[in-house]
Structure 1
Amino acid sequence: MKKFYKQAEGGTAPGGYTVRLDGQTLRTPLRHPVLVPSAALAAAMAAEWDAQAGEIVTASMPLTQLVCTMIDKADSHERAEMNAEIVKYASSDLVCYLALNPAELVARQEALWHPLLGWLQDEYGVVLQPVKGIQYVQQPADSLKKIADIVANLDAARFTAAQVVTGVTGSAVIALCMASGRIGAAQAYDAATVDEVFQLEKWGEDAIARKRLERIEGELTAVEKFLFLMKGGEATASA
């Protein structure tokens, strides 16, 4: 899409803050007006729009994408289906399947994954059984029910974060830990990519693998910034 506006700016609106393009309120793909609770988030989104050149590249506007997803999806009739998808990931979660070997990789996985499973158990009483190897293990039905309840009770922002992070990492556990503030983007990245990073260290750099890792890191960083700004935090040049 060609750029159709000259100026993007954040500003106040009834009930919160919005982004305006040449004075017109930004709308989501489903035509809902964009409204957020934080002036800093509105300003950061406006900066994304202001940075567009001749063509609008939506992939270069992660905060805008997250906010539009939150508005269009998190409180919609699709929410129940999206909740169920997160629970489906939890039933065969990445962090429950440790490698058989080598020992160094297993140790890294245990160091990164076991604290997340421990937090989920301590905080919510959710017990997921980790195993070694790829043989599927049936997780306790009551634990999956508890995860379903946790997801259903997330507010719109944290649900959006959980839904996106689940898809990016393949782990509902990592997603819930990040959405709840237990871990940030860096720890989520380490937990999600421990296998790939280990393989790169062992066998050397691979351009395709590295690009995938950079994409994961970028998406997780955007989610972290989104959650921070939703709470009223101030954006920084390096954030």
Structure 2
Amino acid sequence: MRDFLEDALQHLDAGAGRQQRDRLVELPKRFYTLVEVEERDGAFVVTLDRRVTKTPTGKTVSTSHRDLAAKMQAEWAAQGEYIAPDSMPHVKLINSAVEGGEEAQPALVDEVLKYAANDLLLYRADSPRELVRRQEKVWDDVLVRLARHFSVSFQPTVGILHKEQSPDMLARLRASIAPLHFVPATAMVSVTGLTGSGLLAIALHAGLVDRDAVWTAAHVDEDYQISLWGEDFEAAEKRRQRRREFDAAANVINFLERFPI
């Protein structure tokens, strides 16, 4: 089961370091010309020269949502002479979900709740004052929205020492995502890993904050450091890649909230 979680999160290792490794690995050549979306047996599939796309282990990829199929179609169509998996965040995420299958769903929910119990938003800096104010402004807004929506309370703390959170709070949050289909659950794990916050993933899924607000909240500390020292080129490229993967996961959550794959 842990293999499925690692597969769901493997695309998080993004940016310059991974690009350097990719240059050392021979990418597969593009083997197709025509990329289409077709409706088959009540679902949408992406076809390459009329052949349905499959996961690396041969499982057929399909979805009930045409817009998600269109996203995957666009990624396949955008490939050049070689196929670069890192440029296909929707395809990679859906492949990972299909590989894990339904049996991975409980572990995916557990992963989100594990982060929420020791969440980024709950551990605050004690200085400098400007960073403290930024955390309070951005993170408290998310916590208040969650608290009101789920009728729960949180116990933020200063520093890094573990602070036990209410079992009732965690149970209520679990109940909100426990029914998720395994595909959006995989996307939730991706958002959680990319932001370092299960609470932000749950807030996004519940529609309490939009994706830009989630991304901003996830980078309060990093943005403060950038304001002091400037932005490193490689770190900026890594962050852009992570944002592309985050947006793909947010799309999957949005598309499949009402239309299971």
TM-score (norm 2): 0.81
2:198 to 167, 172, 188: 172
Cα distance, 1:59 vs. partner? 1.2
The share of aligned pairs that are identical, in percent, is 33
RMSD over aligned Cα atoms: 2.2
Q: State the AA in 2 paired with 1:82.
A: L
Comparing 27-36 and 90-99, the one that deviates more: 27-36
**Residues 148/132 of structure 1: CA separation in 2 closer, same or farther (3 Å cut):** same
State yes or no: 1:143 paired with 2:136. Answer: no
Equivalent in the alignment of 1:236: none
- List, as ranges, runs of 4+ consecutive aligned residues in structure 1 with deviation greater than 4 Å: 228-232
State yes or no: 1:50 paired with 2:66. Answer: no
Contact 1:162 1:175 in 2 (8 A): yes
Hey, what's the Cα distance between the residues in 1 that align with 2:117 and 2:95?
Answer: 28
Which structure would you say has the larger RCO, counting Cα contacts within 8 Å and 6 or more residues apart?
2
- CA displacement 1:87-125 (0-9 Å, x = unmatched): 111111000011111222111111211122122222223
Cα distance, 1:58 vs. partner? 1.3
Equivalent in the alignment of 2:130: 104
Equivalent in the alignment of 1:181: 207
Equivalent in the alignment of 1:71: 98
Hey, what's the Cα distance between the residues in 2 that align with 1:137 and 1:204?
Answer: 33
Hey, what's the Cα distance between the residues in 2 that align with 1:2 and 1:175?
Answer: 36
2:58 to 31, 35, 41: 31
Hey, what's the Cα distance between the residues in 2 that align with 1:43 and 1:221?
Answer: 15
State yes or no: 1:3 paired with 2:30. Answer: yes
Hey, what's the Cα distance between the residues in 2 that align with 1:158 and 1:121?
Answer: 23
Contact 1:158 1:180 in 2 (8 A): no
- CA displacement 1:158-201 (0-9 Å, x = unmatched): 32321110111110001111122222221111000110111011
Hey, what's the Cα distance between the residues in 2 that align with 1:9 and 1:231?
Answer: 24
Equivalent in the alignment of 2:243: 217
Cα distance, 1:228 vs. partner? 4.2
Aligned residue pairs total 232
TM-score (norm 1): 0.87
Report the 3-state secondary structure (helix = DSSP H, G, I; strand = E; otherwise coil) of the residue aligned with 2:207: coil
Report the 3-state secondary structure (helix = DSSP H, G, I; strand = E; otherwise coil) of the residue aligned with 2:102: coil
- CA displacement 1:27-63 (0-9 Å, x = unmatched): 1234332211222222221111111122211111111
**Residues 216/47 of structure 1: CA separation in 2 closer, same or farther (3 Å cut):** closer
Hey, what's the Cα distance between the residues in 2 that align with 1:136 and 1:55?
Answer: 47
Report the 3-state secondary structure (helix = DSSP H, G, I; strand = E; otherwise coil) of the residue aligned with 1:19: strand
**Residues 195/181 of structure 1: CA separation in 2 closer, same or farther (3 Å cut):** same
Equivalent in the alignment of 1:208: 234
Note the residue ranges of structure 2 that are not aligned, 5 or more in a row.
Answer: 1-27
Hey, what's the Cα distance between the residues in 1 that align with 2:174 and 2:65?
Answer: 29
Hey, what's the Cα distance between the residues in 1 that align with 2:163 and 2:234?
Answer: 31
Report the 3-state secondary structure (helix = DSSP H, G, I; strand = E; otherwise coil) of the residue aligned with 1:78: helix
Equivalent in the alignment of 2:145: 119
